[in-house]
Amino acid sequence: MSYIKLDSSKLDKFVHENELSEMQALVNAADDELRNGTGAGNEYRDWLDLPTNYDQDEFARIQAAADKIRKDSKYLITIGIGGSYLGGQMAIEVLHSNFFTRNSDETQVIFAGNSLSSSYLSELLDLVGNDDFSINVISKSGTTTEPAIAFRVFKEKLVQKYGEKEANGRIYVTTDAKRGALKREADVNGWESFVILDGVGGRYSVLSPVGLLPIAVSGGNIDDLMHGARDAQNDLTETDVTKNDAYKYAALRNILYRKGYTTEILENYEPNLRMFSEWWKQLAGESEGKDQKGIYPSSANFTTDLHSLGQYIQEGLRNLFETVIKLDTPNEDVIVPSADKDLDGLGYLEGKSMDWVNTKAYEGVVLAHTDGGVPVMTVHMPDQKEYSLGYMIYFFEIAIAISGYLNGINPFNQPGVEAYKTNMFGLLGKPGFEEIGDELNKRL
């Protein structure tokens, strides 16, 4: 039985009773492709047993490195793009206060190298100023343009501030175990290194050193995080979709997709779950968007976006379905206070908790949207603690992997990502891409 619960009761008017059972044979086949490695991309399945089969010595080194950084640095500049930063930033935002970054007593984990914005990098340099900082650069090769530029810039600042010897003690790399430019540089300079596993793709890497070091530096309990993921690994093995909510979610979203609901909106009612949607969008979009097919992953933050996107969701094109992440127990609650005069019309809410109001808003939205022709299902997250987050991460990882196989694609590659890079290298004049650049300049 799953600790994370899926509520699909509001799909009755969109999915007939027999349709889920008719998907069972396909789910069985997808499970075989995933578990037994008979499907495409089988060399990238090591995330499946990562919560129980990780390097204990490396895990201890991560915790020790995090303790050192928390003692000697006001900032940890975490440099990476895509799966190299989304999971870490997501977890930190979920686990901490919305205003965590304003607490000057804690080491702040700041993310860089995920864009080519000169303003962002310059403003981050100004923020760090003369304060103590360390760097965690996350890259399989060390040559990806965005993080490589950011690393050059901050490595230069580090050496200028501390000198080369002490700077080397403040650089932590998460990279390939044996090869690549970053690995070679780390070996030469004696930087502490953690391993990006060959069998774990970037979007599935948050429970590896890629995500664990920044999460630990932020003060997150990575033991509890892995405990939650480990229980999910053990719980979510049943192929019967009526007994495995992750598989049921995968099957239902594919039933809806085949009926023309081609866009899924992942929604939340808590601002610090915003980055969870960003992590999920890469997980779903990069896994499933291939061969001119796949569910388009979108997101919305309620109730905020009900005052902007709400009209479209309620009455726009009927190609949408919604999956809500509903937090059952918030970190804090506030009681609506009483007032002498009811000028704002809130007298009927006096003494009620804001979480109760938020829940009623969620319930009202579900009813309105389903009445308007939008399928809605809900994933219940018990709380925002590390155990629950670890379980949630694994829940969605395995659901998306199964969903990809249900749609007949390889859920573990991303061939389309390279197209823009080839064009960019040509236009930048990178050696070996000159002819491409000449041709592209003629088209511009």
Any idea which residues carry the catalytic annotation? 286, 421
Q: What is the DSSP string of 63-123?
A: HHHHHHHHHH-SEEEEE--GGGTHHHHHHHHHHS-TTGGG-TTSPEEEEESSS--HHHHHH
Q: Are 155 and 167 in contact (CB under 8 A)?
A: yes
CB 174, CB 138: distance < 8 Å: yes
Question: Dihedrals φ, ψ of 300, to 5°?
Answer: -150, 150
| Contact assessment for residue 200 and residue 212, using Cβ atoms and an 8 Å cutoff | no
> Residues for the chain: how many in total?
444
Report whether 207 contacts 194 (CB < 8 A). Answer: no
Cα(228)–Cα(207) distance, rounded to whole angstroms? 11
**At CB < 8 A and 24+ separation, what contacts does 329-338 make?**
329/382, 329/383, 330/270, 330/355, 330/384, 331/97, 331/383, 331/384
Burial class (CB in 10 A: 0-12, 13-18, 19+), 320: buried
Is 91 in contact with 225 (CB distance < 8 Å)? yes
Burial class (CB in 10 A: 0-12, 13-18, 19+), 123: exposed
The two tokens of residue 98 are 């919305």
